[in-house]
Structures are given as C-alpha cells and as structure tokens.
Amino acid sequence: MPTTVLMEELDAFTYREMIGRGAPVIVPVGATEQHGPHLPLQTDVLLAKAMSTRLAEAVDGVVAAPVVYGYKSQQRSGGGNHLAGTTSLDATTIIAIARTLTLEFARHGARQVVFLNGHFENYQFLYEGVELATTELKQRGEDVSAILLSYWDFVDDETIEEIYRGAFPGWDVEHGGVLETSLMLHLHPELVRLERVMDLPAAQLPRYDRLPVRPELTPISGCLSSAAAASESAGRLLLDRTSAALAAAIGAELRTASDLIPAHATPRFTTP
Ligand code: ZN
Ligand code: MN
C-alpha cells in the first residue's frame, strides 16, 4: 500500500493501479499571491493541497500535483493584481489548464476528477475549462464526471461563531485574515511570522470594481482584514470541521457517480 496520496510522490505504476481501482483525482488549485507581511505567497496552494490531502485520504483518492498560479487577484477579494509578489494567469490560461488537466486524467483512466479551489478568483474559469472537457468527453462516449468546489464553502456558521465570536468580517475580506492565518499556523507554523501581522481595520471597499484600481483602497498590509486574532487551535478546528464536511458531501457525491458507471466499464490500464 502506498503511504502517500500525493501524485508527485507516487511512482507511475502505483498511480496507474490506484486510478485503475477507480480512485478519484483531486486537483488542488491555488495562486501565487501576496498575503501580507506574515504569510507566504503560496498560502492558497498550501491550503488547497492540505484540504485535498484530507479529502483524498477519506475517499481513497489521489491528489494531483497542484496548480500553483491562479487568476488575477481582485482588489475586493485579494487586494488587487497591482501588488508585488502576486503573479497571475489570464482567464484563457486558467480555462485551458482546467480543460487540459481534466482530459489528461481522463486519458489515464480516471472517471472522477475533483477541482478543489483555494483562490476565490479562479472559480468561474475552472468551471469553464471543466465544462468544455466534460462536454468533449461525453461526445466521445467517455463517462467522466467532475466536481468543483471552494473549500471555504464547507465552513459552517457554528464554526465561524466559535472562532470569531460575532466579529466575522465576511468572506470577501478574509484575504490574509484570521481564517488563512489560523490554518497556516496549524499546518505550516514555520512559514508564518505572526509578529509581523499588521492589526489594521478591515478594508472598506466599494460595491463595484474600477480599473485600473485605486491602490490606496487596499490596506497597506495587503490583507483585507486583520489576522491578529488567529490561532493554531482555530486552525485545527477549521481544518477538522471543513475536511469532515468535505469528506461527507464529496464522498457521497463520488459514490453516487460511481454507481452510475456501468459494471462492465473497465479501467483503461491494467498493471502488468
Ligand atoms: Zn489566500
Ligand atoms: Mn487568493
């Protein structure tokens, strides 16, 4: 039995065997984006990968090598694409990546692909790429289904209340705030510099976008709310609750879909 669910650590024969047994492929998608002075640029990648790993362990899946760049950071959700360190792809590139990866995993014999998103701005472009690929596969007579999700949609209100005690600033301004910082403190404490957190009021942003952006609307921290209240224990709670909710919902969905695959369907490859 392999001791890892990470594709990047698996050998090709073991990977092929896992796919042949019907393992869903889970693709973490993040971004390389500034997260203030206290978090690493690949925070969204690391968190998507951690959530994907937990999900893969629960559903006997494989975690694909992550997508480490994302769609352009927007001022109202990520501080904006004008900031140093933030390194983004065009929408057409994200669409092409999602489409190509779905087709590639289908070519390996995967029948279920999950895109687990950790960067707000990616979602609709991942959707488009996956939609194109699944339509194409269906036309070819291949039975491949895909699931897309953003992990924060699995954080329940009760957990929010336990962590924020009525002071939740809203998901739109969570960038670099308590949620991401707490998760990072739990998962990768060596990469967090808590002493550098800038404890500023949450960003006040208009209900519209204007381009080019007015840089002064983004707090100088680059974060849209303060991470001062972040803690390792909040991170542990968030990871445990969110990954359990993900495993329950996506696990059930994957089982439903695999029931639909005809019994005579055989994996594309067999192990010698
Ligand atoms: Zn982030
Ligand atoms: Mn992001």
| 70-71 and 62-63 beta bridge pairing | unpaired
| 62-63 and 25-29 beta bridge pairing | parallel
- Selecting among 38, 174, 180, 186, the annotated active-site residue is 180
**Per-residue pLDDT tens digits for 56-101:** 999 999 999 999 999 999 999 999 999 999 999 999 999 999 999 9
- Selecting among 8, 11, 17, 35, the annotated active-site residue is 35
pLDDT of res. 263: 46
| Residue whose token pair is 């029931």 | 259
Q: What span, in angstroms and rounded, lies between the C-alpha atoms of 104 and 117?
A: 19
Residue 262 has pLDDT above 60, yes or no: no
- Selecting among 38, 174, 175, 186, the annotated active-site residue is 175
Q: What span, in angstroms and rounded, lies between the C-alpha atoms of 75 and 58?
A: 35
- Cα of 121 from ligand 2 centre, angstroms: 7
- Cα of 159 from ligand 1 centre, angstroms: 19
Q: What span, in angstroms and rounded, lies between the C-alpha atoms of 218 and 78?
A: 9
- Selecting among 9, 11, 38, 44, the annotated active-site residue is 44
**Per-residue pLDDT tens digits for 202-231:** 999 999 999 999 999 999 999 999 999 999
Residue 1 has pLDDT above 80, yes or no: no
- Cα of 18 from ligand 2 centre, angstroms: 31
pLDDT of res. 256: 84
Nearest of 28, 41, 55 to residue 244 by alpha carbon: 55
| Active site annotation includes 8 | no
- Cα of 35 from ligand 1 centre, angstroms: 6
Mean pLDDT of 30-50: 98
Please check whether residue 200 is in contact with residue 173, taking contact to mean a CB–CB distance below 8 angstroms.
no
| Active site annotation includes 121 | yes
What domains can be seen in the chain, in order of their start residue? 7-260 (3.40.50.10310)
| Residue whose token pair is 């999700």 | 149
**3-state SS, one letter per residue, for 134-200:** HHHHHHCCCCCEEEEEEHHHHCCHHHHHHHHCCCCCCHHHCCCCHHHHHHHHHHCHHHCCHHHCCCC
| 112-117 and 88-89 beta bridge pairing | unpaired
Confidence of residue 172 (pLDDT cuts 50, 70, 90): confident
Residue 242 has pLDDT above 70, yes or no: yes
| Active site annotation includes 9 | no
Q: What span, in angstroms and rounded, lies between the C-alpha atoms of 170 and 179?
A: 11
pLDDT of res. 272: 47
Q: Quote the distance between the C-alpha of residue 138 and its chain's center.
A: 26
Mean pLDDT of 181-190: 98
For the CA of 73, the nearest ligand: 2
**Per-residue pLDDT tens digits for 109-158:** 999 999 999 999 999 999 999 999 999 999 999 999 999 999 999 999 99
Choose the weakest-confidence range: 72-81, 96-105, 169-178, 252-261.
252-261
**Whole-structure pTM value:** 0.94
Q: What span, in angstroms and rounded, lies between the C-alpha atoms of 104 and 136?
A: 12
- Selecting among 38, 119, 174, 186, the annotated active-site residue is 119
- Cα of 197 from ligand 1 centre, angstroms: 15
